[in-house]
Chain A
Amino acid sequence: MKKAVSFAMAVAMTASLTTVGAVPVLADDVSITIFNSKTEIQSQMEEKAAEYAEEKGIDVEVYYSNDTVAAHMATRYASEDPYTLSMVDAKDVYSLGKEHALDLSDQEWVNDTDYEISVDGTVYGFPVCVEARGLMYNADAIEAITGETFNPDDYKTLDAFKELIAKLIEGGMETPVGIMKEDWSLGAHFLSEVYEEQEDVEGFITSLHEGSADLINNEKFNSLMDTFDVLMENNYAKDSPIAAEREVSEQKLAEGEIAFMFGGNWDWSVINAYDYTENMGLMPVPQNTEDGTNEKLVGGGSKYFFIDNSDNTSEEQQQAAKDFLNWLVYDEAGQSFIATDCALVPAFSNNAIEVSDPLGKSVKKYADEGALIPNYDYAPDDHYSICGASFQKYLAGQIDRAGFATEIEDYWKATTPVEH
C-alpha cells in the first residue's frame, strides 16, 4: 500500500514539474532582458513589459539595481551575461558604446530626435527622455504673498530676482530658498552650468585642463556664483546648510514653505510624495547677463538604451530589442507609457502627448522652443564628487569664492578629460 501511494505521489510530482517546465516553450522562443536604471519607474516598467510581452508573444524581463550603473554593467559583462537592452547614463554610452553596443544608425527613430548619442558617427544610444535643470519654483507660494500672477519671464535678471526675494521676505516668508547640498546637485548640476554656459565649452575645458583658465575672473563663473550667493543668503538652512536633507527641502518646496530651489524635473519623483501644488515649474537660473543664458534651461537627453552586440545576444534578441525601442517611439501605447505612465518628457518630436507633471511641462516648453543649453557629458567620473566636495565647503562657508575657484582649477589640472 505504502509503495503504491509513494508511486502515485512521484507520478503526480513529475507531472506537475513537466507542466511548469513547459510554459515558456509554449509562449515563445525569444526572450529579452531589460536593465532599468531609473528606479522611480521600475513598477511601471515591469507592468508595461508584462503587457508588451503578452501582446508580442515574447518574453521580457525587467531588472534594476541600486549599484551605480557602471558598476552593475561591469558585473554583468564580467559574468558574460549582459542585458539585451540596458538603460545607462550618457557617459556610459561614450565609455562602452564602441565596444559593446549595437549600431543603431539605420533606425527610423534617429530622424525624430535631437538627443541620440553617436560615437565617431555611429548611433549607439537611444534617448529615453529629456531632463533639464533650472530653478524650481512654487508659484502658489509666491502669488499668495505678492498677490500677482507669477511669471518667471519677469525674473530673468538677478536684480529682478533679488527684488522678488525681498518682497517675499517682507510678506512673511523669511527664507524663501532651499539648497540641495548633495555633491551631484552642486558639483554635477550647478557647477557644470559654468562650463555649459561658456561660449566655447570645449575650449574652456581645455584651458582649465591646461591651467590657463582664470576661473576667479571668469565672467560666467562670477555671474552664476553671484546668483548662488543670493540663494545661499536666503537658504532656510543657512545656519547648517550641510545638514539640510533633500526630502525635507523638497517637501518645503512642494508645500510652499519655501518658493525656490535649484533642481531639475527628476525632482518631481520626490516632490510628488508630498502635499504638492500643480502650480510649480522650472525657470532658468536668474543672472545679470546679456548672453541669453538666463532665458534657457540646461539639459537634454537623459538615460540611454543601448543594445548588446556580443555573442551572448542572438540576432533574434537584438531584433526584438529594436522592435521594443520602435514601439516606445511610434506605438501609441509606447508613447503614453513614457509621457503618462512614467511622467517623463519624451525625447522624440513625434510624441505629442502632454507631459503629466508640472516640472516636466516646463522642460517640454523650453525644449520645444529650442531653449535648452546642452549638457556637458564628458566630465571625468570623479568630477561630481571632488568638485562637489569643494562646492560643499563653499556652501558651508569654509572657503571663499577665490579658494573655491582654485580648488576647481586644481582638480582640472590634475585630471584627464574624457575623450569623445
Chain B
Amino acid sequence: MKRNTMSYKVKQFLMFAGPATVLFFAVVILPFVYGLYLTFTSWDGISKTKPFVGLANYLAAFKDAAYWQALGRTFIYSAIAVILVNVVAFLLAYLVTSGIKGQNFFRAGFFVPNLIGGIVLGYVWKFVFNRALVSVGQALSIGALSTSWLATTNGAMLCLIIVSVWQYAGYMMLIYVAGFMSVPKSLMEAAQIDGCTKSQATWNVTVPLMRASFVQCLFLTITRCFMVYDVNLSLTKGEPFNSSVMAAMHVYNQAFTYKNYGTGQAEALILFVVCAIVGVTQVYIGKKGEVEA
C-alpha cells in the first residue's frame, strides 16, 4: 500500500484523530463561533428572535464597571495564588523527593485535595472559616480569628487564595516531582564532586533542567485561576457585598441571572482573550529559555 498518497493520509488521520476532531468541533469550536455570533445580538436567552445590535454588547461590556472590577480582582487573586501554589508545590515536591520516610504516602496525601470537587471543597472550607476557626478564636480569645474572615472584603479574598493553594498545590507537586525525577542523578553527583553543596547543586543544576515543569505548572495554574468559578461560588458566592465576585462569576451572573445574554457573552469573550494572551505569553517566554542537559 502506498503511504504517501493524500487519501491514505486522510484515512490515517480520520482513523486516529477523527473522533477527537469531531468532538472538539462539536463541543468547542461550534459553540465558540455561535457564542461569537450571539455577542452581536441582544438575545435574552429564551426569546425566539435574536435582534442584531452590532457592537452594542461590547460597548456595554466596556462600560460595565462591575466587570472590570471583577477582572482586576481576578488579576490580583491569580497573581498571588499562582505564586503561592507554585512555591508551595515546589517545596512539597522537593520534600517528597528528598528521600524522607514514607514519601510515597505524603505524595498521595498532598494530592488528595485535588480529587475533591471544587464545590464540595468550597463548602468544607466555608465550614472551617465560618465555624471551626471562629470557635477556636473565641475559645482562645484570639482577636483575628474570633470573627469569620469570610465576612470581610480582604478576608474573603484571602480565604479564596488559601483554598486555591490547598487545592492545586498537590497537583502541581506531582508535576514538579516528575521534573525532579527526570534529572539524572549523575549530574547531581558530578556537581557535588566539583564542590557544590547540595542546595547549590539543586539550585544550579536541577532547577534549570526542570524548566519544562515550571512552564507547565505556571500555565495550568494561571489558566485555572483566571477561570475560577466553582470554589468562588461555594465558598463566598461573591459575598460580602459582591466584593469577591471573580470575572467568570460576573459573566455567569450577567448572562443568566441578569438576563443580559449578549453582554455576558461579550464579557466572556474578553475574558478569553485576556486569558489567552497571558497564557500564551507565559508559555512563549518560558519555552524560549529552556535548556537541555
Contacts and interface: CB of A to CB of B under 8 A. Distances in A.
A342 interface: no
- Interface size range of chain A in the complex: 20 to 34
Interface in A358-397: 380-382, 385-386, 389-390, 392-393, 396
B160 to A, nearest CB: 16
Interface in B70-109: none
A242 B287 CA distance: 46
Given A74-B256, A382-B258, A390-B241, A239 B147 contact: yes
Interface string A69-94: 01101100110000000000000000
Interface in A221-274: 239-243, 245
A243 B151 contact: yes
Contact of B47 (A96, A183, A382): A96
A62 B109 CA distance: 42
B47 A71 contact: no
Contact of B242 (A96, A245, A380, A385): A385
Contacts of A100: 46
A326 interface: no
B45 A99 contact: no
A398 to B, nearest CB: 7
Contact of A245 (B45, B130, B258, B261): B130
Contacts of A240: 147-148, 151
B238 to A, nearest CB: 8
A386 B253 CA distance: 11
Nearest to B258: A382
Interface in B237-252: 239-243
A288 interface: no
Contacts of B45: 70-71, 74, 78
Query: Which of B45, B46, B47, B152 neighbours the largest number of chain A CB atoms within 10 Å of its CB?
Result: B46
B257 A385 contact: yes
A109 to B, nearest CB: 26
B214 to A, nearest CB: 38
A72 to B, nearest CB: 9
A197 to B, nearest CB: 25
B36 to A, nearest CB: 16
A368 to B, nearest CB: 35
A149 interface: no
Nearest to B243: A389
A18 interface: no
B107 to A, nearest CB: 36
A19 interface: no
Given A70-B46, A71-B256, A245-B130, A386 B242 contact: yes
A412 to B, nearest CB: 15
Contacts of A380: 258
Nearest to B147: A240
Contacts of A381: 257-259
A393 B259 contact: no
A95 interface: yes
B48 interface: yes
Given A95-B259, A392-B239, A385 B46 contact: no
B44 interface: yes
Interface in B21-63: 44-48
Interface string B255-277: 01111010000000000000000
A6 interface: no
B150 interface: yes
Contacts of A78: 45-46
A316 to B, nearest CB: 23
B46 A74 contact: yes
B151 A73 contact: no
A14 interface: no
Given A71-B256, A382-B257, A242 B47 contact: no
B104 to A, nearest CB: 39
A68 interface: yes
Contacts of B258: 380-382, 385
A312 to B, nearest CB: 12
Contacts of A396: 151, 240-241
Nearest to A74: B45
Nearest to A380: B258
A77 B151 contact: no
Contacts of A393: 240-241
24 contacts: A70-B45, A71-B257, A77-B46, A78-B46, A95-B44, A99-B48, A100-B46, A183-B242, A239-B147, A240-B147, A240-B148, A240-B151, A242-B148, A243-B130, A243-B148, A243-B150, A243-B151, A381-B257, A382-B257, A382-B258, A385-B242, A385-B253, A385-B257, A389-B241
Interface of B: 44-48, 66, 130, 134, 147-148, 150-152, 239-243, 253, 256-259, 261
Given A68-B256, A392-B241, 18 more contacts: A70-B45, A71-B45, A74-B45, A77-B46, A95-B46, A181-B239, A183-B239, A240-B147, A241-B151, A242-B148, A242-B150, A242-B151, A242-B240, A243-B130, A243-B147, A382-B257, A385-B257, A398-B241
